[in-house]
Amino acid sequence: MTKPPAKPAKAAKPAKTARTKTATGAATEAAQPGGVVLLSGGNPQIPKGYGDAPIEAYIAAMPGWKSELGRRLDTLIVRAVPGVTKAVKWNSPFYGVEGQGWFLSFHCFTKYVKVTFFRGASLDPVPPGASKHKDVRYLDIHEGGLDEEQFAAWVKQASRLPGEKI
């Protein structure tokens, strides 16, 4: 009785990269320098963590003009809320006040950055983007479209409200 031939060894799988679509609809894979993968829409895949380092890694990996916008958002948030707590969760930066919870997050999409105010319906004026959650409001920021004065006012207001315990 003879043994069947051994199965050939499987080739090692290459590291995963994100598949995104170009303007023509063709699928592409996106990996940033340093091995950071961009998920659908160009959102950086960053391991969760607390403090400045994960936020800085996320911002550095934001593609194109969004990286500078991310730096500006972080600067405005820190200026408006000294001692703000920071974390990256679910591939998004979160900002909060210790003991109160998270008041803001943002996330990259193909053509804009979406800022989430967890208690945005209580802000004055209310941010323009509606949500299926009654308290949440969104601000979609397109290239060159940040009203820094209004954003800082919303951040100050949001930081004084009870936050999300996520």
| CATH number of residue 47's parent domain | 3.90.1150.200
Confirm whether 7 is domain-assigned.
no
Q: How many CA atoms lie within 13 A of 158 on its CB side?
A: 33
Confirm whether 78 is domain-assigned.
yes
- Residue span of the structural domain in which 85 resides: 38-159
> Tens digit of pLDDT per residue, the chain (166 long)?
554 444 444 443 333 433 444 443 433 344 454 567 888 788 899 999 999 999 999 999 999 999 999 999 999 999 999 999 999 999 999 999 999 999 999 999 999 999 999 999 999 999 999 999 999 999 999 999 999 999 999 999 999 999 998 8
Q: In the chain, how many domains are there?
A: 1
Confirm whether 4 is domain-assigned.
no
Confirm whether 116 is domain-assigned.
yes
> What distance in Å separates the CA atoms of residue 79 and residue 77, rounded to the nearest whole number?
5
Number of neighbouring beta carbons within 10 Å of residue 81: 20
Tokens 């999409």 label which residue? 109
Whether omega before 125 lies within 30 degrees of 0, making that bond cis, reads yes
Does pTM top 0.85 for this prediction? no
Tokens 């949440």 label which residue? 136
Identity (one letter) of the amino acid at 79?
R
118 CB-near residues (< 8 Å, 6+ apart) = 101, 102, 103, 104, 105, 135, 136, 158, 163, 164
Among residues 122, 114, 116, 115, which one has the least CA distance to residue 162? 122
Confirm whether 33 is domain-assigned.
no
36-67: buried (b, 16+ CB within 10 Å) or exposed (e) per residue?
A: bbbbebbbbbbeeeeeeebbbbbbbbbbeebb
| Three state DSSP letters for 99-148 | CCEEEEEEEECCCEEEEEECCHHHCCCCCCECCCCCCCEEEEEECCCCCH
